Amino acid sequence: MADTKDTRREEALAAFFDMMNSSLRTFTSGEVSIAHKAFLLAYEAHKGVRRKSGEAYIMHPIAVAKIVSHEVGLGYKSIAAALLHDVVEDTDYTIDDIEGMFGEKIAFLVDGLTKFDSIFDKSVSIQAENFKKMMLAMADDIRVVLIKLADRLHNMRTLGSMAPQKQEKIASETLYLYAPLAHRLGLYNIKTEMEDLTMKFQFPRIYEELQSKIAATAEERDAYIKTFTEPVVQRLNEHSIVYDISGRIKSVYSIWRKMETKQVSFEEIYDLFAVRIVFKPTADMDEKQQCWRIYSLVTDIYKPNYERLRDWISTPKDNGYESLHITVMGAFGRWVELQIRSERMNEVAERGYAAHWRYKSQHESRQNEVSPFDAALDKWLMRLREMLANSEENATEFLDQLKLNLFASEIAVYTPKGKMVKLPKQSAVIDFAYEIHTAIGNKAIGAKVNHKLVPLSYVLNNGDQVEMLTADNQKPQAEWLAFATTSRARNQIKIALKAEVKEYFQKGKQAIEETIRSFGAQPNAMLYKRITDAYRVTNKQELFSQVGAGILQLSEVEKVLRKQRRSKFLRYMELQLLGAGKRKKSYDDPSLQEAAQQPISKRAFLLKEGTDPSKLAYSIAPCCKPIPGDSVIGFIEEESKALIHKKICPVAIREAAQHGDKIVNVKWTEHKGIYFLARVTISGIDRIGLLRDVVKIISDEMNVNIRHLNAESHDGLFEDELDVYVHSTTDLNNLIGKLQKVEGVKEVKRI
């Protein structure tokens, strides 16, 4: 929709200069001139175009540039790239045009931000391909992804104007990829806002309820913070420390996740806020010493909980985060978390990578200093380049590996000589072996972890000491790929297997072709399709290799060929008896024709009442097993069926992030004729007759059928796990409420 008159120029120009003036940096006249030139080009390119919200399109790149300059703190080249980030994608301008006007670097940044508009192979995820392209550019210049995060944040801020299906796609993609990426780069504020906005659109009712509860407790919370901080303020003033002290509420998303993880109510979360002390460093003492000095002053007033001490100043996090976290006992027997950090630490904690480098550039003495953050980021980028260089997977598989290797939390494990090795959480012994050296990984047969013998598949924990065991006659095995998680380990295993695979391929191909010819047939594409389907392998290359390696036997090939021979004979007899001109059934119902012509992704699936589940146009995802009443999302699985997940299911979030075009609107109706399986756990203090009382409530009072029951009792405690059939979450919640009233039961929760 286009404007008939250029009535927005002055408004856009005012927004541009406001953005430049509010930047965290100061610019020379030449730098302002380049940014202004980028604005004028973007304005002309997007002239007359409006966003879904109705505002002029140019306001979006200006808003992105403002986030880049004001919230991240990047320079004029990044501002220019932010202003131009949609020009090549949405207009007739090319990257060559941008390079001619603004130079190679700005053109590179814009190119890294330009999405593919289409991909010929429709089985490929455009979302995944675009993200992979962005990561390729990021490996050379990290500013690409910083600008993209700003773009995504503004899209999330204006998501309300989009259609519900589009909201679901963008929100899931943000939670799956962009929020973890912001966290990894230390952009805490951006990561937190992304998570909160995702929740606002995916779970609006829960979001509003939590917002209301937070607001309702604000007065009481503020009063408590004031009471808590008064003696601290007095002590800091007595020692002439320049500081700022404040109480900060946790984000809505983090509160909700804690409620979900711990299975507790809002009222049961005691650490809703943290008190933060940000001090101005003095020349007579380094920042680390000053943190501990303030720690000493605070713990003179309040008793600390030593088990909850988090020292991120001696060992900063890999994303550059530095802070001293302590938990102390405040008034009324209430634990309070207190964060102590310098002004520099606080800026890096809030703004991440860009703030770190800006701080270094402003302090000549630090410019040649290699901080732990520098080393960690360099290693992270090196691992990213390694993944990109060695990746033979499609973009979707690449994203899964990226999330597992580069976004995951890290653990620290140690060699027998005490050298620390950092690995992604959930790494196995084989990952450690390849991290040490490729030769050790290729010859590995097992390990001693904390002096105990373990297999290569053993999952390592933080602080483990690992001694690898090797053998000269060992070689990499294909089954290692089932538990190897790091990209380095997986790539090295694949490289080692390639030599064998080529030999296996030729051997398997020859064996299969000989078998086919022995049945009087000739190898062809249709026959290979039937054989690969029978073996449940992806393609004939995999088929040849696995047959050649002896993993698959030729018996299935022979079965397919016998069936092929028999089906040809039966088809011949059918044609002889019935005639080749057999009429096809016609469907003249106009409503059926109209439904068939409608794109499947646009149809809404109503989960109907009283229908046999096997005949419904949907199936229930086995990973999360949603039941009526759960917030759900659907994905097209076949032309006539949708797969239903819970919205909070990690598999659903991943699928929506990678294949947003498959999302379909779904909603529950009453299912009084259908039962759904749900799992609950019951725990508490054991007594004679307790299990009988539990079963009586389930079977007699609630009339619920039990499919599976597993009960354990030890040391006076018990834990039961039950699979029960229910109609909806209402039935399940009623059941949980009844069970919680049983004597001895302390906790009942749905898994």
Whether the CB-CB separation of 209 and 225 falls below 8 Å is answered with no
List, for the chain, all residue ranges whose pLDDT scores fall below the cut of 70.
Answer: 1-7, 115-128, 139, 353-379, 386-408, 499-501, 563-617, 638-640, 669-674
Portion of the chain with pLDDT greater than 70, in percent: 81
Bridge partner list, 466: 449
Tell me the CATH number at 19: 1.10.3210.10
Q: Which of 361, 378, 398 is the last residue of a domain?
A: 361
Question: Active-site residue 89, yes or no?
Answer: yes
Co-location of 138 and 235 in the same domain: no
In a domain, 702, yes or no: yes
Co-location of 194 and 223 in the same domain: no
Co-location of 101 and 148 in the same domain: yes
| Residue written as token pair 């409608």 | 598
Co-location of 329 and 273 in the same domain: yes
Can you give the pLDDT at residue 295?
94
Nearest 5°: phi and psi at 669? Answer: -120, 180
In a domain, 465, yes or no: yes
In a domain, 60, yes or no: yes
Alpha helix locations (H) across 521-635?
A: 525-535, 540-548, 555-578, 590-597
Co-location of 569 and 619 in the same domain: no
In a domain, 151, yes or no: yes
Long-range contacts of 12-19 (CB under 8 A, 24+ apart): 12/39, 12/43, 12/56, 12/58, 12/59, 12/62, 13/39, 15/59, 15/62, 15/63, 15/66, 16/62, 16/65, 18/66, 19/62, 19/65, 19/66, 19/69, 19/70, 19/79
Can you give the pLDDT at residue 740?
84
Identity of the residue numbered 146:
L
Q: Does residue 612 sit in helix, strand or coil?
A: coil
Q: How distant, in Å, are the alpha carbons of 69, 107, 515, 634 from that of 80? A: 10, 10, 64, 40
Co-location of 223 and 343 in the same domain: yes
Whether the CB-CB separation of 277 and 340 falls below 8 Å is answered with yes
What is the chain's mean pLDDT, rounded? 79
- Which H or E run contains 714? strand 705-714
Among 11, 31, 55, 90, the active-site one is: 90
Q: What is the DSSP letter of 306?
A: G
Tell me the CATH number at 736: 3.30.70.260
Can you give the pLDDT at residue 571?
54
In a domain, 598, yes or no: no
Can you give the pLDDT at residue 688?
84
Q: Give the C-alpha separation, 216 to 209, whole Å.
A: 10
Q: Which of 543, 578, 613 is the last residue of a domain?
A: 578
In a domain, 595, yes or no: no
User: The domain containing residue 452 runs over which residues?
Assistant: 408-485
Whether the CB-CB separation of 55 and 3 falls below 8 Å is answered with no
Tell me the CATH number at 236: 3.30.460.10
| Residue written as token pair 């990109």 | 388
Q: Mind giving me the DSSP string for 354-383?
A: HHHHHHHHH-GGGTT---HHHHHHHHHHHH
345: CB partners within 8 A, 6+ apart:
278, 287, 313, 322, 323
Co-location of 303 and 355 in the same domain: yes
Neighbours of 393 (CB within 10 A): 16
Q: What is the DSSP letter of 293?
A: H
222: CB partners within 8 A, 6+ apart:
247
Q: Give the C-alpha separation, 505 to 546, whole Å.
A: 8
Whether the CB-CB separation of 689 and 742 falls below 8 Å is answered with no
Question: Active-site residue 556, yes or no?
Answer: no
Neighbours of 78 (CB within 10 A): 25
pLDDT in tens, 268-290: 787 788 899 999 998 888 889 99
Co-location of 626 and 709 in the same domain: no
78: CB partners within 8 A, 6+ apart:
68, 69, 109, 143, 146, 147
Tell me the CATH number at 428: 3.10.20.30
Q: Give the C-alpha separation, 370 to 421, whole Å.
A: 19
| Residue written as token pair 């679901």 | 168
Co-location of 284 and 231 in the same domain: yes
In a domain, 452, yes or no: yes
Q: Domains in the chain: how many in total?
A: 6
Whether the CB-CB separation of 476 and 430 falls below 8 Å is answered with no
Co-location of 423 and 452 in the same domain: yes
Can you give the pLDDT at residue 120?
40
pLDDT in tens, 161-207: 888 888 888 888 888 888 888 888 888 889 999 999 999 998 899 99
Co-location of 46 and 168 in the same domain: yes
Q: Which of 485, 513, 534 is the last residue of a domain?
A: 485
In a domain, 382, yes or no: no
Q: Does residue 428 sit in helix, strand or coil?
A: strand
Among 3, 6, 18, 89, the active-site one is: 89
Can you give the pLDDT at residue 596?
36
Co-location of 265 and 312 in the same domain: yes
